[in-house]
Amino acid sequence: MQPHEKKHLLIVDDEPVILQILKAVFEEEPWRLTLVGTGAEARRVLQSERVDLLLTDKNLPDVNGLELLRIAKEREPLCEVIILTGYGSLETALAAMELDAFDYVLKPLNNVFDIRKKARQAFAKQDVALENRRLILELREKNGALEAALDETRALQAELIQSEKLAGIGTLAAGIAHEISSPLFGIMGLAEAIADEQDLALAQSYARDVVEYCRTVRDIVVELSSYSRAASNEYLTTVELARVVHDALRLVERSADVRNVRFEMDIEEGLLLQARTNEVQQVFVNLLKNAAEATGEQEGGGLVRLAAGRTGNTVWATVSDNGPGIEPEKQKLIFDPFYTTKAPGKGTGLGLNIVYRIVTKYRGVITVDSRPGQGATFELRFPLDP
Ligand SMILES: Nc1ncnc2c1ncn2[C@@H]1O[C@H](COP(=O)(O)OP(=O)(O)OP(=O)(O)O)[C@@H](O)[C@H]1O
Ligand SMILES: [Mg+2]
């Protein structure tokens, strides 16, 4: 029902006098009135028009008033019904109430204004019910909109997860390419050396190194694929730091341009870590390479110092250089993947990110200390307790 539409009141009684009286009672009200004398007519009105309140005699000669009530409710459940009934049929009046009539009025009509009051009350109740229905519809609509929004959010989330996975795969692939490039360069250099080597014993030792680097490549591929997982004990071995650092340095010397760089090592003997050899080696290869790359152009040559020791339950290592250093605001960025200040083709920006991931995997910390112009020092700390 539209708000501006008048309420429609249908009055049904076979006694013309009663119709007359009721017409007079309701004439002044702001409602549309239809008065009919038979049940058949009433039924026609109910079936062809909207009726908001039905006021009907219970005992019509042709159709039972309760049947009209049923039709009215079937057409519009919110239609209200008031039954007019004689004193003798109080029981049927109560039956009408059970059929969801709003009220009943006993005949003869002693107080016609009482009927008007009941009609007004019926409309008031109906207005509340209509408002409720409107609110429920509105709620359903809003629920529908919310559900649609939720569906959309879910779809977006799925898309996001997918694209994050793809980005993750991209980073993984780039990381693997980055890490195997040093041993691959090493293999290439050794293979060339073997080809020209006359001394069989030396050629054999190069060949052993080639095999070793091939293993390194294989392990890097396997290990990098499992970065997100925490270090699992079954893969760990006891790693002797001095030996791994020595191997890392040899690999850097073989795979990068370090002609202009001097390396100094000061490593305590017998420093042991529970880790994967390869990963510890990757950490130092990346740090030493960065340091060598930073100092290579230094006047009078570059100097890279590596120190390591043990304090209490912590194994520490530092890699320092005399390069240009890192500005404070850049120090926050250097561990991010793909952050690089090197020329395109020179650096991918993955080295320190890989270092960071390996170090944190072993519950270690890495910090950088640098003042521009005065070199940089990277410090690693690993807890010794399992
Ligand atoms: N020892 C250092 N001295 C000065 N700057 C450094 C040093 N180590 C790292 N950086 C800075 O941090 C950046 C990130 O280093 P990272 O190793 O992650 O990537 P990269 O060396 O640029 O590239 P890639 O390692 O892929 O060859 C470098 O580009 C450089 O700006
Ligand atoms: Mg690097």
Does the pLDDT value for residue 1 go beyond 60?
no
CATH of the domain at 350: 3.30.565.10
Q: Which of 66, 88, 110 is the last residue of a domain?
A: 110
Q: Per the domain annotation, does 49 fall within a domain?
A: yes
Burial pattern 58-94, b for ≥16 Cβ within 10 A else e, equals bbbeebebbebbebbbeeeeebbbbbbbeeebeebbe
pLDDT value of position 91: 77
The reply to whether 23 falls in a domain is: yes
Closest CA to 31 of 95, 99, 116, 88: 116
Residue nearest to atom 7 of ligand 1 (CA): 290
CA gyration radius for the chain? 46
Mean pLDDT of the chain: 90
What whole-number distance in Å separates Cα of residue 103 and Cα of residue 90? 12
Q: Are residues 102 and 234 in the same domain?
A: no
pLDDT on residue 187: 95
Task: Classify residue 98: in a domain, yes or no.
Answer: yes
Residue at 28: amino acid letter: E
In a domain, 148, yes or no: no
The total of structural domains in the chain comes to 2
Q: Which atom of ligand 1 is nearest to the CA of 340?
A: 29
> What does the pLDDT read at residue 226?
62
CATH of the domain at 96: 3.40.50.2300
Given this model, what pLDDT does residue 136 score?
95
pLDDT band of residue 119 (cuts 50, 70, 90) is very high
At 317, is the pLDDT very low, low, confident or very high (cuts 50, 70, 90)? very high
**Distance from residue 321's CA to the centre of ligand 2 (Å):** 14
- The verdict on residue 200 lying in a domain is no
Q: Which residues line ligand 1 (CB under 6 A)?
A: 178, 286, 290-291, 294, 321, 323, 326, 334, 339-342, 347-353, 376
- Give the pLDDT mean for 40-63: 95
Integer CA distances (angstroms), 334 to 47, 172, 248, 346, 350, in order: 80, 18, 21, 16, 9
In a domain, 275, yes or no: yes
CA-nearest residue for atom 11, ligand 1, is: 334
If you measure from the C-alpha of residue 290 to the centroid of ligand 1, how many angstroms do you get, rounded to a whole number? Answer: 5
Q: Which residue has its alpha carbon closest to ligand 1 atom 31?
A: 341
Pocket perturbation via mutation, ligand 1, pick of 178, 298, 321, 352 by most ligand atoms within 8 A of CB: 352
pTM exceeds 0.75, yes or no: no
How many angstroms does the Cα of residue 287 sit away from the middle of ligand 1?
A: 9
Ligand 2 centre from 347 Cα, in Å? 7
| pLDDT of residue 365 exceeding 70 | yes
Q: What percentage of the chain carries pLDDT values higher than 70?
A: 95
Q: Answer for the pair 75, 51: CB distance below 8 angstroms, yes or no.
A: yes
Distance 339 CA to ligand 2 centre (A): 10
- Which residue spans within 197-291 are E strands per DSSP? 237-240, 261-267, 272-275
* Whole-number pLDDT of residue 345: 82
**Nearest bound ligand to CA 294?**
1
Residue 210 inside a domain? The answer is: no
The conformation of residue 347, written as its DSSP 8-state character, comes to -
Measured by CA distance, the residue closest to atom 26 of ligand 1 is: 348
Q: Compute how many other C-beta atoms are within 10 angstroms of the C-beta atom of residue 243.
A: 14
* pLDDT of amino acid 262: 96
Query: How large is the average pLDDT for residues 363-369?
Result: 96
pLDDT at position 233, please?
56
pLDDT > 90 fraction of the chain, expressed in percent and rounded = 72
| 231 pLDDT above the threshold of 80 | no
Query: To test ligand 1's pocket by mutation, which of 258, 334, 335, 378 has the most ligand atoms within 8 angstroms of CB?
Result: 334
Q: Which of 87, 110, 133 is the last residue of a domain?
A: 110
For range 35-52, the mean pLDDT? 96
Nearest CA to ligand 1 atom 9: 290
Report, as an integer, the average pLDDT of 255-262: 90
Region 150-160: what's the mean pLDDT?
A: 90
CA of 285 to the centre of ligand 2 (A): 9
In a domain, 166, yes or no: no
Cβ-based neighbours of 56, under 8 Å, separated by 6 or more: 10, 11, 12, 13, 42, 65, 68, 69, 81, 82, 83, 84
> Which domain range does residue 262 map to?
230-383
The pLDDT confidence band at residue 95, using thresholds 50, 70 and 90, is: confident
Question: Which residue owns the Cα nearest ligand 1 atom 25?
Answer: 351
Lowest mean pLDDT among 82-91, 158-167, 372-381: 82-91
The CA 339 to ligand 1 mean position distance, Å, reads: 8
**Residue that finishes a domain, picked among 47, 82, 110:** 110
The residue type found at 35 is: L
Query: What distance in angstroms lies between residue 205's CA and the mean position of ligand 2's atoms?
Result: 29
pLDDT digits (tens, 9 = 90+) for 180-225: 999 999 999 999 999 999 999 999 999 999 999 999 999 888 776 6
Q: What does the pLDDT average to over 344-370?
A: 93
